Amino acid sequence: MCGSWARLRSIGLVCCALFLVHPAASAIAGTIEIFHADSLAGPMRELKKAFEANNKDVTINLTGGTSKELAERIQKGDVCDVFASSSPAVVDQDLMGKKIASTGQDAASWYVVFSANEMVVIAAKGNPLGIKQVSDLAKPDVKFLRVTAEKDLATNRTVSFLKRATELEGKPELAQKIIDASVGDASKPSSIPETVKAVREGTANAGVIYYSSAVAARNDVAIIRFPASVNMSEAIRNAATVPGTAKSPKQASEFVKFLLTKPAQDILAETGQPPIVPAIEKGAVPADIKN
């Protein structure tokens, strides 16, 4: 009896050892193609590092752009495992209930709202012009650039932010002056990355962008933040889904699940994207992703 127990104990120890030596047996592997809004570029770079560090056999490819243009690519059939939009409305309106071109596959059937953002003013490094409020952007020595791309959600958000802020500062008449004085080329609509580049390189000395984009460029620009009553934070939300064009749906689901964990939420907070806890769910969210 003692001999039998010893053999069973020995077998059990061997099994435990094998489990400990091969903890990755249940790990995921493969490539995850992530389409993300430009405002999520900084956070996604850090999330990619953290996820790949914990999943050695996974490679994440990041593709940035405007949310609406990326949604259009998904509708046309471009491979996308995770779509992270800067507005749930884009997923709702452009993907939910829609079919992928030439297929009967749903473009999207669910999403989770995982973080927020806000609009800020950026100025040249060190803020040499002493910009402290939006009305300062109307000063003659300020070269101001704003996002103007038609399909970029930041275009209308910038306009709304400028109107709110000048109203709060008691100078609402300056909003349109600032909007019209943008130094951008009307024939070449500017984006968030182009606005950051212009301020960094000196072709503009101020701009309005997302806080997360400003945090990503904080070594090269000054950041001026504003009260919640004007910074659009209540309206700017980021949503993630696994679209119908996903080629690695299991890996994609694991990444979305990761977005809702404390380590990912810490990364989001540090990169200018305050996490929404608990995440807001819409549609047929898979059981393993639910909060």
User: Quick one: three-class SS letters along 58-78?
Assistant: EEEEEEEECHHHHHHHHHCCC
Domain identity same for 107 and 51: yes
* Final residue of a structural domain among 224, 247, 269: 224
Domain identity same for 144 and 132: yes
- Residue 1: what pLDDT? 45
Domain identity same for 123 and 220: yes
Q: Which residue has the higher pLDDT, 27 or 4?
A: 27
Q: Kindly report the number of other CB atoms within 10 A of residue 259's CB atom.
A: 23
Taking 80 as the threshold, does the pLDDT of residue 172 lie above it? yes
* C-alpha distances in Å from residue 289, one per residue of 230, 248, 261: 33, 16, 10
Residue 77 forms part of a structural domain: yes
Taking 90 as the threshold, does the pLDDT of residue 212 lie above it? yes
Residue 218 forms part of a structural domain: yes
- Residue 27: what pLDDT? 64
Radius of gyration of the CA atoms of the chain, in A: 23
Structural domain that includes position 187: 119-224
CATH number at residue 86: 3.40.190.10
Domain identity same for 214 and 253: no
Taking 90 as the threshold, does the pLDDT of residue 147 lie above it? yes
Rounded to an integer, the average pLDDT of 173-185 is 94
Domain identity same for 130 and 182: yes
Taking 80 as the threshold, does the pLDDT of residue 111 lie above it? yes
- Beta-carbon contacts of 132 under 8 Å, excluding residues fewer than 6 positions away, are 224
Using 50, 70 and 90 to split pLDDT, how confident is the model at 187?
confident
Domain identity same for 43 and 85: yes
Residue 217 forms part of a structural domain: yes
Taking 80 as the threshold, does the pLDDT of residue 110 lie above it? yes
Residue 1 forms part of a structural domain: no
Domain identity same for 56 and 78: yes
pTM higher than 0.75, yes or no?
yes
Rounded to an integer, the average pLDDT of 174-194 is 92
Domain identity same for 171 and 135: yes
Domain identity same for 68 and 137: no
Percent of the chain past pLDDT 90, that is, above it, reads: 85
Distance separating alpha carbons of residues 56 and 97, to the nearest angstrom: 35
Domain identity same for 203 and 158: yes
Taking 80 as the threshold, does the pLDDT of residue 238 lie above it? yes
Taking 60 as the threshold, does the pLDDT of residue 3 lie above it? no
Residue 19 forms part of a structural domain: no
Domain identity same for 34 and 86: yes
Domain identity same for 59 and 201: no
- Residue 259: what pLDDT? 97
The count of domains in the chain is 2
Residue 278 forms part of a structural domain: yes
Residue 197 forms part of a structural domain: yes
Tell me the three state secondary structure of residue 113: strand
Q: Where are the beta strands (DSSP E) in 66-218?
A: 82-85, 110-116, 119-124, 144-145, 206-210
What's phi and psi for 183, nearest 5 deg?
A: -80, 0
